[in-house]
Structure 1
Amino acid sequence: MDQRTVAVAEGLGKVYATGQAAVTALAGVSAQFRRGEFTAVMGPSGSGKSTFVHCLAGLDTPTSGKALIGGTDLGSLTEAGLTRLRREKIGFVFQSFNLLPTLTAWENIVLPLSLADKRPDRTWTKQVIDAVGLADRLTHRPAELSGGQQQRVACARALISRPDIVVADEPTGNLDSRSGAQILGLLQMCARHWGQTIVMVTHDPIAAGYADRVLFLADGRLVDEMAQPTPDSVLDRMRRFDAQAVR
């Protein structure tokens, strides 16, 4: 693993249930993710894309294969060690925001640091707050914020601990197109200007067009990869998936 490689999936497999009820969600997916790279993960519904990133980020346990973050095999960690690694090395952005309603925007942003009993780095925190454009909303609670603002709080929370990798699962799924474009532009900026590694699950070709590359999954397998995607090239590839599925 070279120094720019931040995360590695080695033959990740995931089977739910056993016997006749067994369902294979992942069937040996391997990929590497480098520093400063924005990767979109796409595929038809049920292709295993969310299962893949959840196994990669330690939110789910693979049945076979392994995931490494910063050279650490997640399968070698105790539950406490895995919790610590997720908190310190991985930032998460979900479709549903997952903010704590009783906390202010500021308290939600610094929550990972508070849980680790760490003080925010003043310079870095200002950079993050400025990047997400929330300086005048820090005392507001989630209910007082728009959906786009809530997701920007979630992005700031994901970035505040300077993680090795940010995993975003359908981050624009609950947003209007303008708010979604702001979030995607933010993620793209984090990769290009801050060297942040981003892995994003999406079903949207427009969202994928912000990425540096796209991994395509189908039936739990990695079936294609595209560098420098555009919305049109991604849409064309997805249409070919649909055509192959019909045959």
Structure 2
Amino acid sequence: MSQTRPSGRQATLVADVAARTEAASKVYGRGGSAVTALDGVTVDFPAGAFTAVMGPSGSGKSTLMHCLAGLDRTTAGKVYLGDVDLGTLDERRLTALRRTRIGFVFQSFNLLPTLSAAENISLPAELAGIRLDAARVDRVIDAVGLRGRSAHRPSQLSGGQQQRVAVARALVTDPDLIVADEPTGNLDSRASGDVLGLLRSAVTDFGRTVVMVTHDPGAAGYADRVVFLADGRIADVMTEPTADRVLDAMKGLTR
């Protein structure tokens, strides 16, 4: 997917760090069958910025995302959300943190088919015991362009509209961090551009922090920076990315 450089991009990244890892490693299995998915990764994710994470298949990008979002625990090293060390939290507190401070956008949408768009958007807040102001829900629905579709169930929405619901759901609790795992993987090029524009707007207009795993250089061109992984390690960090620059970097990693 090709695109021109998005407008409204921040000229510089803010100094604050929304999330970070310190010498984070993740090993699956034991003995001779052990697989090292992350190998001592230290990386910061600036607050109020859009970071894309890229790398060849098996490079560790999804594992990094899952550990950063508290969906998986590292084998060694540390992961922080703000100043909170996720490794110090038990499962109950980790679940509470995910529900209140992290928004999720997945490739498969993960909407409940029996709920309307508006109900799907509000669900994470309800599960977290957060009482949402109806006006806030309306503002988020308007921001993602779903006015007039909010009463529809997922089966009545296109793929792009369902992903808009997912983006709205991630935004509605005003989280510290939004993680997006291949959010355009099931969408056509037009819907992909719409969703990427929404994620860009979440940063530029709402001041959120977005970390997105993607394989698409065009998608990475919407970000402020790209973190490249290879063999479970940081291979490079690119600022001011464009689709062409990202594509060239990816070719270098796969040679």
**TM-score under structure 2 normalisation?**
0.92
Residue identity matched to 2:138? K
CA distance, structure 1, for counterparts of residue 155 and residue 23 of structure 2: 42
Q: Superposition pairs for residues 1-247 of structure 1, below 5 Å?
A: 4-243=16-255
Residue 126 of structure 1, CA deviation: 2.7
Residue 235 of structure 1, CA deviation: 0.4
| Deviation per residue, 1:118-158 (Å, 9 max, x gap) | 22134432331111101111111111110000000000001
CA distance, structure 1, for counterparts of residue 98 and residue 131 of structure 2: 18
Percent identity, aligned pairs only?
A: 62
CA distance, structure 2, for counterparts of residue 241 and residue 226 of structure 1: 13
Runs (5+) with no aligned partner, structure 1: none
- Aligned match of 2:10: none
Residue identity matched to 2:88? S
| Deviation per residue, 1:204-231 (Å, 9 max, x gap) | 0000000000000000000100001000
CA distance, structure 1, for counterparts of residue 205 and residue 67 of structure 2: 27
Deviates most, 226-235 or 135-144:
135-144
Residue 116 of structure 1, CA deviation: 2.1
Residue 3 of structure 1, CA deviation: 7.3
CA distance, structure 2, for counterparts of residue 17 and residue 87 of structure 1: 29
Residue identity matched to 1:190? A
CA distance, structure 1, for counterparts of residue 36 and residue 128 of structure 2: 36
CA distance, structure 1, for counterparts of residue 130 and residue 215 of structure 2: 36
Residue 29 of structure 1, CA deviation: 0.8
CA distance, structure 1, for counterparts of residue 163 and residue 39 of structure 2: 32
Divergent runs of 4+, >3 A: none
**TM-score under structure 1 normalisation?**
0.95
Runs (5+) with no aligned partner, structure 2: 1-13
- Size of the aligned set, in residue pairs, is 242
* Alpha-carbon spacing, 1:35–1:67, altered in 2? closer, same or farther (3 Å): same
Q: What's the Cα RMSD here?
A: 1.2
Residue identity matched to 1:55? C
Deviates most, 224-233 or 70-79:
70-79
CA distance, structure 2, for counterparts of residue 26 and residue 130 of structure 1: 39
